[in-house]
Chain A
Amino acid sequence: MALLAEPRTALLDPMEPVPFRVRGIRDELEDTFTLELEPPNGRFEFAPGQYTMLYSFGIGEVPISVSGDASRPSRLVQTIRGVGAVTRALRNVRPGDVVGVRGPFGTPWPVDGATGRDIVFVAGGIGLAPLRPAIYRVLERRDHYGQVVVLYGARSPRELLFAEELQDWGGRFDVTVLVTVDNADRAWYGSVGVVTKLVPRAPYEPQNASAFVCGPEIMMRFAGQELESRGVAPEQIFVSMERNMKCGVGFCGHCQFATKLVCRDGPVFPFSEVARLLTVREV
């Protein structure tokens, strides 16, 4: 073999943002909006629960869960809360502009593995967005499941995400939708109280149920405990963890969560794997 340095092989770059064209922007809540993006090759395949890294040119990148319908791959739909420099820059795009996309990354909600079971979705705040693709998937194959329940909690009626869709789902005879808020005035005729209070009220058989929980960590922790105390097996409760995901592929180390790298091993984990860690401070 020659001593000369050898030529390198070209590699697919997981760190390279791919330009997607903005086709639609929709304001959902005061600080939350949905982007509809057109993939350059016309298709974006993902599994419910996965996320992408969205890149605003020269500004930065953020991890955002896909909130659209996996059976409609011609558009990538992402619902974003404008809380930082990148997300606010993303809010200011116009149709025709280009944003960068890497992904999809991460583990999916295992709804396809829960056929034959009762399905309980528990969402808090903007946590409904990462669950929506799983809800679409279950409703698309409604006859594969037993009871289907969507439990949703938000701060106030003004902060209910996808309110029209919640009403549509609630109007179906084969889906139970229960919504609750922390704060309301007289104009609200629904429930007031935390989302965990909905867990005992919904119609499902705990021993035969799979639950998919998404929201802030504290909300998932208590919802998981409530589901478990009702008799849902912790292996059948799934939560979507949030850590500082910067690369999506396990290179940067920011999303360390004890033995896990959330970006690569998650974000979706069985509650049985994380419940103990959720009670250890600052892991």
Chain B
Amino acid sequence: MTASGVIDRAGLDELIAALRNGGYTTIGPTIREGAIVYNEISGTSDLPVGWTDQQAPGGYRLEHLGDGRMFGYVVGPQSWKRFLYPQRNVIWSGVVTADGWETVTPPEPPTYAFIGVRGCELAAIAVQDRVFLAAGDRAADPSYAARREGAFIVAVNCADPGANCFCTSMGTGPVAGPGHDLVLTETVTDDGVVLLAESGSARGDALLASLAAMRPAEIADRERAAETMAAAQATVPHSMDTTDIHDLLLGNLEHPHWEAVAARCLGCANCTMVCPTCFCGTVTDELELDGGGARRVRSWDSCFTLEFSYIHGGSIRQAGSARYRQWLTHKLASWFDQFGTSGCVGCGRCITWCPVGIDLTAEVAAIRASDLRPAVPVAADGTEVNL
């Protein structure tokens, strides 16, 4: 039986303070420039209390409800990737020595506690784990591993899925799956907003046990939380048919629909920047002005740029259609071959933040509607014929 209990807003403040006292840098949702973004928080007063978001293809705006809820919105343009895999990060540096150069030991990154991680985002972190952590005989990316290893995760179940959310299609939400230390379910009672807190790890148990402001969860608390989440589950508005999606997309690499998407796509790379699983990065080299030291700086890159596929002589993917196809087939199909999972978690960010509102679920549906793969012969009795 995992530890659980009920806390109110003051209890969450105590929880955040306990994490900060434990050495964690606490990161959570805040409002900045009209959007929910993740930043360092020191208490619930930093949270977007009473705010919600309205999302549409190519559209996003915040709305003040004043309902006192601390997590009454879904995901904004950023994801936790920004902290585990920084947008710009020195991955190696060296100094000149008498007979060449040598590596400089990098500084330790902060140890993070993430407050308010949604189900889709937990899944996204698990997807990036498969890319960057050690697997088989392959070593881990030390920069990612150092940030990931000690991170404390406080998840939140999504009570109000956004208009572009399709987590139910991807099996990632709105109820948070495994991978957290604590999960919170926010409900409104006659006495105000309360959070059902349930532990998912020994560290979560220890944290809950330390909270003075927590009361035991009663059956009514659990029922109210379950009802809230059942309602949320039923109202996730968007969906994507993922049946046979790997073979569907890879079997339609020469489908004319890629050109149709490219006619709308600006190639701006927003979708890759907001995607919580997109991991592609490039490295630039910097030399100190006096030549005494050098750095290798990794920053996010995007398969939508021409330089991305450059080899001596030119770029492999020159056409916009080839670049969109690369992104979508990688995300939804070849990711399985490379990392054993889909690269999409159904968070809907790429739909919301696309300046022209391209909706990947609609593009997949369009290809599905005119699948160009040769038909599988069907025998008179309706069974497929294996040739």
Contact = CB atoms under 8 A, between A and B. Distances in A.
Nearest to A21: B100
A242 interface: yes
B280 A253 contact: yes
A11 B91 CA distance: 13
Interface string B246-289: 00001001100000000000000000000000011111111110
Contacts of A260: 334, 337-338
B319 A58 contact: no
A231 B202 CA distance: 62
B330 A256 contact: yes
Interface stretch (B143-151, B188-196, B233-241, B345-353): B143-151
A83 B313 CA distance: 10
**A interface residue count range (under 10 / 10 to 19 / 20 to 34 / 35 or more):** 35 or more
Given A5-B23, A256-B330, A282-B316, A246 B254 contact: no
B83 interface: no
Contacts of B141: 14-15, 249, 251
Most chain-A CB neighbours within 10 Å: which of B138, B291, B319? B138
B283 A3 contact: no
Nearest to B91: A15
B294 interface: yes
Interface string B74-91: 000000000000000001
Given A15-B92, A21-B100, A244 B250 contact: no
Nearest to B141: A251
Nearest to A99: B100
Contact of A249 (B18, B138, B279, B308): B138
Interface stretch (B59-67, B203-211, B357-365, B367-375): B203-211
A266 B333 CA distance: 19
Contact of B138 (A5, A17, A244, A264): A264
Contacts of A246: 282-283
B139 interface: yes
A95 interface: no
Given A3-B206, A249-B139, A264-B138, A243 B303 contact: no
Contact of A243 (B23, B205, B316): B316
Given A12-B139, A16-B103, A19-B101, A254 B287 contact: no
A250 interface: yes
Among B132, B203, B284, which residue has the most Cβ atoms of chain A within 10 A?
A: B203
B94 interface: yes
Given A11-B145, A256-B303, A258-B250, A250 B282 contact: no
A201 interface: no
Contacts of B99: 98
> Which of A1, A13, A19 has the most B CB atoms < 10 Å from its CB?
A13
B142 A5 contact: no
A66 B205 CA distance: 53
A84 interface: yes
Main secondary structure, interface of B, reads: mixed
Interface in A22-61: 57-61
Interface in A228-250: 242-244, 246-247, 249-250
Which bracket fits the contact residues of B? Answer: 35 or more
B132 A242 contact: no
A251 B311 contact: no
B294 A58 contact: yes
Interface of A: 1-6, 8-9, 11-17, 19, 21, 57-61, 81, 83-84, 97-98, 242-244, 246-247, 249-254, 256, 258-261, 264-265, 280-283
User: 10 closest Cβ contacts across the A-B interface?
Assistant: A58-B287, A98-B100, A253-B280, A282-B322, A58-B294, A259-B337, A5-B111, A5-B23, A1-B202, A259-B334
Interface of B: 18-19, 22-24, 91-92, 94, 96, 99-103, 108, 111, 131-132, 138-143, 145-146, 149-150, 152, 202-203, 205-207, 210, 250, 253-254, 279-288, 291, 294, 296, 298, 301, 303, 308-312, 316-319, 322, 326, 329-330, 333-334, 337-338
17 contacts: A1-B206, A3-B19, A5-B23, A8-B146, A8-B149, A11-B146, A13-B139, A58-B287, A58-B288, A60-B283, A97-B100, A242-B311, A243-B309, A251-B132, A280-B253, A282-B316, A283-B253
Given A5-B24, A244-B310, A261-B338, 17 more contacts: A1-B202, A1-B206, A13-B92, A13-B139, A15-B91, A19-B100, A57-B287, A83-B312, A243-B309, A246-B282, A252-B281, A256-B309, A258-B250, A259-B250, A259-B334, A264-B138, A283-B317
